[in-house]
A and B are shown apart, each in its own frame.
Chain A
Amino acid sequence: MTPVHGHAATTIGLGTPILALAAVLTVAYAAAAIRLRRPGGRGWPAPRIVAAVLAFCAVSATLVGPIADGASADFAAHMAAHLAVGMLAPLLIVVSAPGTLALRALDVVPARRLSRLLRSGPVRLATHPLFAGALYTGSMWLLYASPLGLSLTGNPRLHWLLLAHFLVAGCLFTASVVPVDPSPHRSSFGLRLTVFLLAAAAHSVLAKQLYAHPPPGTTTHEAQLGGLIMYYGGDIVGLAILVVMFARQYTATRPRGRLRGHPSGVASARQHRDDQRNDRRDEQNRAEHLVVGADHGAGDHQGTEHETRDQAP
């Protein structure tokens, strides 16, 4: 991309409100989590707080600092910024379960309002794997593989808008594939895995295309470096998404009551403790679903059992 005079200042100027918003949200998250962790509170896992803070770091790295400054001028930096904001930050945000935290921390009335919002038609559509996957993959291809899109990537004024778009699209996609927050309308594991597979394939094909055919105004070296960053960076985050996805499925499909009914009658203390912990977690989840899926009965709980059947070969 051609360097624009004074673009760094522009980037920071437009990025500041987004950065401030991200900081406010992160502080609100941490405050709510810390309140829940107080003695007598319902508790909140520390790793989720770490994920939220790391997500903030990933987003802010694309708004200020060397990557942000280079992003309009250097295609490789541009790609690193898009990877951080479109893949890494969304995964960290989804894993930090902000929806669950909000439902737990808010009073009953706002919590009900939030759960109504989560159940509404538009949110349902936006978090459907097919819709979110098409939006995410489609906008990526439009941006990097069409003349219109390539004319936009060089525009520093639009740069932050594109970043915001990819952050939102990335969050929708990741949340639709790895639903950590309660979702009364969760898709089957098979559909989510298929959508992920197709999106990952489209991602790697586009990376190779950029590697082989540098976008106009980009040097071959920049394009190849950008393509490699997209290809391998996408792989690493994709692998992390898969691990979270399968780990959650692994927990959801654990054989229940096995240890208690085991013929040998011997269950190790550790397994017993794990079982108890899982049961406790189930109970908490169910409590949240009573809020979210009030009209659906224990909607999501059914979803989990449905998946159990899916997974069994």
Chain B
Amino acid sequence: MTPSVEVERPASVARPFGAGLLIGIGLMAAVDEIVFHQLLGWHHFYDRDTTRVGLVSDGLLHAAELVALVAGFFLLADARRRGPSMGLFPWAGLFGLGVFQLWDGLVNHKVLRLHQVRYDVDLLPYDLLWNGAAALLLAVGVVLAVVAVARRRRG
């Protein structure tokens, strides 16, 4: 039995924020798979020169993406039933969109070389756009977080 004392404390910030973060990460990974792998077909989930390590890490990342998406939505529901006033925090957590995009753009594409954004083209504009979009999403998330904290302070 959880004692009802829990309600007296102000609603936790970490819970809705973490939920938004997980949803953001899972969402961006899903967008990458659906739009770039399936609809545009720019790059595939597997490229012939992908290393074995890259393949395994990609598999883990893919499984983690599914878990993040489901866990995020259930955590959000959990945060909501524990304290209804979540403010902007879940939205601020969506900076996870940028986190994943940047991870994909820098680590997956450049360090692990799992795949590139597109083939047989000059990569530079694509990479700039990809990582620029990631930085923008990150910035929006940070601004939202700052606003959310300020609002919470004001009460």
Q: Which residues of A contact B (CB under 8 A)?
A: 193, 196-198, 200-205, 208-209, 211-212, 231, 235, 238-239, 242-243, 246-247, 249-250, 253-258, 260-263, 308, 313
Contacts and interface: CB of A to CB of B under 8 A. Distances in A.
Contacts of B15: 313
Contact of A256 (B1, B64, B77): B1
B48 A212 contact: yes
B154 interface: no
Q: How large is the interface on B (under 10, 10 to 19, 20 to 34, 35 or more residues)?
A: 20 to 34
Given A242-B67, A250-B77, A253-B78, A201 B6 contact: no
A243 B70 contact: yes
A246 B70 contact: yes
Contacts of A262: 4, 7
B1 A246 contact: no
A197 B46 contact: no
B12 to A, nearest CB: 8
Interface string B60-103: 10111011001100100110011000000000000000000000
Contact of A201 (B3, B4, B60): B60
Contacts of B63: 196-198, 200-201, 204, 238
B131 to A, nearest CB: 26
Nearest to B48: A212
Contacts of A235: 66
B20 interface: no
B66 A208 contact: no
Contacts of B133: none
